[in-house]
A and B are shown apart, each in its own frame.
Chain A
Amino acid sequence: MADFLIGLGLPGWLAWSIAALVAAILLLNVIAGGALVFIWAERKIAARIQDRLGPTRTGGRFGWLQSLADGIKLLAKEDLMPEGADGLLFRLAPYVSFCASFCAFIALPFAFDVVGQRLNVGVFFVVAVLGLEVFGVILAGYASASKWSLFGAMREAAQVVSYEVPLGMCVVVPVMLAGTMDLVTIAEKQSGWMSNWYLFHDPFTFVIFWIYVTCAVASVNRAPFDLAEAESELVAGFHTEYSGLRWSFFFMAEYGSMFLVSALAAVLFLGGWNGPVPVAQLVGLSEGTGDSAAYFVRLLGLANLIGKATFGVLLMMWVRWTLPRLRIDQVMTTCLKYCTPIAAVMFAGAMFWQLFLPGGLLPGWSRPAGEIREGWLEGPGGLPATSAPAVVRSAGVAAAEPSDSSGLAKRSPR
C-alpha cells in the first residue's frame, strides 16, 4: 500500500505513516470486534454448559449485541479510582496491557501476505511482545493500593515469567523445523495436505503441541491457571479496583491474547492458513492464477486461520467452565516439573528426528525441511535477492540454533 501511495507522488514518510495507520486500525478492529464476538460466545457457551440460556434478547435473537450493550454501559460508568492509588500508573496500566496484546498482532499473518508487518523474527516478536502484557498487570496491582490487587499482580508476574520458559521451548520447535522465525514462511511450509502440519511432523511435535496449549492457557491467565484474578481468593485479583472503560481494556487485552496464542498455535502447528485439504490447489487456484483467484485464496486462508484460532479459543472456554482452579504452588509445579522438562526432551527429540529422519518414517509423509527461501530476503522492502545467499539450509543440527543468529548476521547493511 505504501508503494502505491509513493507511486501517487506522496513523500515516503507520509505514505508509510498512512499505510501503518490503516493497518493499525484494521488490527484494532480485529481485537475489538473479536473481543465482542468472543465475549458473547463465552457467555453463550458458558450458559449452555451450565444448562442456562445466556443472553437472549439484545439485538433481536441470541443476544448477539449483548457485549456491545455491555460496552456502552461500561463507557457510561463513573470513573473510579481508589484513594491512595498511584494516579498515573493506575490510568496507564490497562493501556499497557492492551498495547502489548495489540502489538503482537502486528506480526501475525492472517493469510499469505495478509500481515501487518512481515518480520523475519516474527515468532520471537510475538512471544516477546505478548510477554509484556504482564507489565500492565503488575502496574495495575501496584498502583491500585489494594492488597488483593498486589497479590494478583505478584501471582501473575511469577506465573507468566515461569511459563515463558516452556512456551519458548515449544515455539522453538517449529522454528527449527522450518529453519526460519518468519511466521509467514513457517505457515507456508506447512501447505498441502494435513499431514504437512507440524503437529503431525513427528511424535515429538505432537506432544509439544499439547505442552504449548497448556503453557499458552497459563500465559494468558485462563482457567485453570487464572490465579491472577481468582475471584474466590483474591476478589478479582489485579483488576479489583478497576471499573468502567479501564476494566474493559483489561478484558479486551485478555481476549486479544487468547485469540493471539490460538492463532500462533495455528500458524506454528496447525498449518496456519492452509486448510486440512488443499482445496484451492486441487481446483487449480493459486496465487499466480490471477488477481481474483489470489484474493479468493487469501480469503479462504483467512477463514482457515480464524477458524482454527476460534477453535482454540473455544477450547479454552470449554476448559474454563469445567475445571477447578489450581493453587499457585501447583501451577509452578506444573510449569517447572512437568512442562519445562517435557518440552526440553521433546525439543531434543524433534532435533534428532530432524537430523536422522528428515523425511519422516513413511515416504511422502512430510516434506523434508530442505531448501527454502528466507522470506525476508524477498520481502516488500525490496532487497535484491542476490545480495545474500538466497538459499538457507535449515535441516540438521544447525537449526538447533534458531535462525535468529544467522538472520542477524545476514541482515543487510542498511
Chain B
Amino acid sequence: MSNLIDDDPRIIEFDVRTDEMLVNMGPQHPSTHGVLRLVLRTDGEIVSETEPHIGYLHRCAEKIGENVSPRQWIPYTDRLDYLAAMNMNLGWALTVEKLMRHGVGEKARHLRVLIAELNRIASHLVGMGAYGLDLGTFSPFLYAFREREKILDLFEEACGARLTYSYITVGGATADLPSGWLQKCEAFLDQFEPIIKEYHALLTTNAIFVKRTAGVGVLSREMAIDYGCSGPVLRGSGVDQDMRRDGESLYTGMYDGYAFEVAVQKDGRYPRDHTYPSVPKEVVLGDCWHRFFVRMLEVVQSMDLVRQSIDRYAACREPLGEPLKLAEKLPVGDAYLETEAPKGQMGFYIVGNGTSIPWRVRARSSSFSNLSVTHELCRGCLIADVPAIVGSLDIVMGEIDR
C-alpha cells in the first residue's frame, strides 16, 4: 500500500491529495439569468469544466405553434425573449409575411423600426444592468431599470402591455400609435442621451469593472463563427455582421434609407459617430468587456435609428392598415427568415399546408448558440468569472428553452 502512495508523483509533490468538486450553479442561483443550471467541476476556486443544463423553462412553444394560426401564435413569441418581445413579434410576423408574400405599407415599416429599436434599447439596458449585478454592483441595475421603465411606459401607451406586447403582428401592427406618443418618445430620448455617460462612468470605464472583464472569457473570431454565435457576442469578437445590413432583402428592406454603422471593432477602432469612452489598454478583442461595450454602442445606435424613424413615421400620411385576419389561410410552402434581435439572430421557420394552421413551426434562437460557448470560455477560469462570462453572453432562458 505504501508503495502505491510513494509511486504516485502527485502525492509526493503536493503532500495533500486534493479532489475536484462538482458544484451546481442554478437553476435557483441568483446570477444564472433565470433557470439556467451550470454544473461546475472545480478545483478550489478554479473551474475546470462547465456544463450548461437547459430545459427548465420548456413550454412546447413550437408545438403549440402547430396548433394555432400564425397570428394566434404571436403571444407565444412574446414569451421567447421576453425582454425584447417586440423584436420576437417582428421576426415571426416577417416570416409569415414572407410565406404569404404579403407586404406592409410605409407607415407600418417605419413604425416597426421605431418599436423594434426602442425595444432593443430596453433589452440592452437589462443586459447592462444585470451584468453589473453579476459583477457585484447593484446600483447600475436600478439606473438601467429606471430608464427601461420609461420605455415600458411608452409601450404600455401604445399597446396596453408592459412586457408581453403582441403589438407587431402579421400585416402590420395591432393599432396605430396614440397621438402625442412621438413627442413623449422624443422627450425620452433627449433625457436618456446624457445618462449613457453615467453608465460609462459607473461600468464601462470603471477600473474594477475593467479588471473584472478585460481578458476574461476571450471568444476568438473563429470560435464565435464555429459555434454560430450572433448579435453582440459575435460582433464583440470583431466579426462585422449585422442582419439589419446583411440579412435577407425582406428584412433589410425595412431599414432602407436608414443610416447606421454596425457596432463592431474594425481596424482596431469602433465607429466614431458619437463620442464614446476610449477602449482601455488591457482589453482583448472578444473578451467580456468588448461584448458589453458593443451593447452599449448599440444603445446609442438604436437611439439614432429611433430618431430617424420618428421623422419618417411622422411624414407618412396614409393610415396604418389592418393586420391580417386571424384565420387567414396559409399557402403551401415554407419560409425561413432571420432577424437581428437584441440578443442575436432570431430565425423563424414556418411550413404552410393550405390551411390556416401551420404544419410546422420552428424557432432558432441566438441565446442557444451563444450559450453553447460557455464550456469553452469557462475552462480554467475562476468561479467569479463564470457569472461574468455567462452574463456577458446576455442569454434569456425563455428563448433557449422555447
Q: Which of B10-18, B311-319, B381-389 contacts A (4 or more CB under 8 A)?
A: B381-389
> In the complex, A231 Cα to B133 Cα: how many Å?
9
Residues 160-206 (chain B) with a chain A CB within 8 angstroms: 202-203, 206
Partner of B209 from A226, A321, A324 at Cβ < 8 Å: A324
Set of chain A residues within 8 Å of B44, measured between Cβ atoms: 154
Q: Are A324 and B206 in contact (CB under 8 A)?
A: yes
Is the pair B139, A324 in contact by a Cβ cutoff of 8 Å?
no
Known contacts A223-B136, A231-B30; is-contact A50 B143 (Cβ 8 Å)? yes
B139–A49 CB distance below 8 A: yes
Q: Is B223 an interface residue (CB 8 A)?
A: no
Interface centre among A151, A233, A326, A328 (most CB of B within 10 A): A233
CB distance from A50 to the nearest CB of B (A): 4
Contact A327/B21 with A51-B146, A232-B387, A322-B137 known, Cβ cut-off 8 Å: no
What does the 1/0 interface line of A294-335 toward B look like (CB < 8 Å)? 000000000000000000000000000111111111100000
- The residue in chain B whose Cβ has the minimal distance to the Cβ of A328 is B45
| Chain B residues positioned under 8 Å from A154 (CB to CB) | 44
16 A-B pairs whose Cβ atoms sit less than 8 Å apart in the complex:
A46-B139, A51-B143, A148-B23, A151-B383, A224-B136, A230-B136, A232-B31, A232-B387, A233-B384, A234-B383, A235-B29, A324-B132, A324-B135, A325-B136, A325-B137, A327-B382
Q: A327, B137: Cβ atoms under 8 Å?
A: no
Report the count of interface residues on B (CB-CB < 8 A). Answer: 31
B134: A residues at CB distance < 8 A: 232
Interface residues of A, count at CB 8 A: 30
A323 and B384 contact, Cβ closer than 8 Å, known pairs A50-B143, A235-B30: no
Which residue from chain A places its CB closest to the CB of B391 in the assembled complex? A232
B335 at the interface (CB under 8 A from A): no
Q: Which residues of A contact B136 (CB under 8 A)?
A: 223-224, 226, 230-232, 324-325
Q: How far is the CB of A346 from chain B (nearest CB, A)?
A: 22
Q: Is A147 an interface residue (CB 8 A)?
A: yes
Contact A232:B135 (CB < 8 A) given known A324-B209, A328-B382 = yes
Distance between B207 CB and nearest chain A CB, rounded to angstroms: 9
Residues in A neighbouring B146, C-beta threshold 8 A: 51
Residue numbers in A under 8 Å from B132 (CB-CB): 324
CB 8 Å contact bits of A215-235 with B (1 = contact, 0 = none) = 000000001101100111111
| Contacting residues, chain B, for A323 (C-beta < 8 A) | 137, 206, 208
Contact (Cβ within 8 A) A324 B29:
no
Please, which residues of chain B bring their CB within 8 A of the CB of A227?
Answer: 384
Q: Tell me, yes or no, whether A52 is within 8 Å of chain B by CB.
A: yes
The answer, among B31, B139, B387, for a CB contact under 8 Å with A50, is: B139
Chain B's closest residue to A147 (CB) is: B23
Report yes or no: A326 in contact with B386, Cβ–Cβ below 8 A.
Answer: no
Chain A 344-375, CB within 8 Å of chain B: the 1/0 string? Answer: 00000000000000000000000000000000
B212 contacts the other chain (CB 8 A):
yes
How far is A154 from B42 in the complex, measured between Cα atoms in Å? 14
CB-based nearest B residue for A51 = B146
Q: Is the CB of B142 within 8 A of A324?
A: no
Please list the residues of chain B having a beta carbon within 8 angstroms of any beta carbon in chain A: 21, 23, 29-31, 44-45, 132-139, 142-143, 146, 202-203, 206, 208-209, 211-212, 382-387
Which chain B residues lie closer than 8 Å to A322 at the CB level? 137, 139, 202
Collect the chain B residues with CB atoms within 8 Å of residue A51's CB: 142-143, 146
What 8 pairs across the A-B complex have the smallest Cβ distances? A325-B136, A232-B31, A324-B135, A324-B137, A50-B142, A327-B384, A232-B387, A324-B208
User: Contacts A322-B202, A325-B137 given: A52-B382 contact, CB under 8 Å?
Assistant: no
Q: Give the docked Cα–Cα distance between A352 and B45 (Å).
A: 42
Among B138, B384, B387: residue with most chain A CB under 10 A: B384
Residue of B nearest to A236 (CB): B30
Which chain B positions have C-beta within 8 A of A327?
211-212, 382, 384-385
A175–B220 Cα distance when bound, in Å, is 54
Contacts of A151 in B (CB 8 A): 23, 45, 383
Which B residues are CB-close (under 8 A) to A46? 138-139
Which residues from A are CB-within-8-Å of B203?
A: 324
Kindly list chain A residues whose C-beta atoms are within 8 Å of the C-beta of B208: 224, 323-326
The distance in angstroms between the C-alpha atoms of A234 and B206, with both chains bound, is 23
Looking across the interface, which residue of chain A has its beta carbon closest to that of B26?
A235
Give CA–CA (A230, B383) in the complex, Å.
11
Instruction: Collect the chain A residues with CB atoms within 8 Å of residue B386's CB.
Output: 233
* Interfacial chain A residues near B29, Cβ < 8 Å: 235
Give 5 new A-B contacts, CB below 8 A, not counting A49-B139, A224-B136, A231-B136.
Answer: A151-B383, A224-B208, A232-B30, A324-B137, A324-B203
Q: Which residues of B contact A321 (CB under 8 A)?
A: 137-139
Report the separation of the CA atoms of residues A33 and B387 in the bound assembly, to the nearest whole angstrom: 37
A328 contacts across to B, CB distance below 8 A = 45, 382, 384
Determine the residue in chain B with the shortest Cβ distance to A52: B142
Give the distance in Å from the alpha carbon of A224 to the alpha carbon of B203 in the complex. Answer: 14
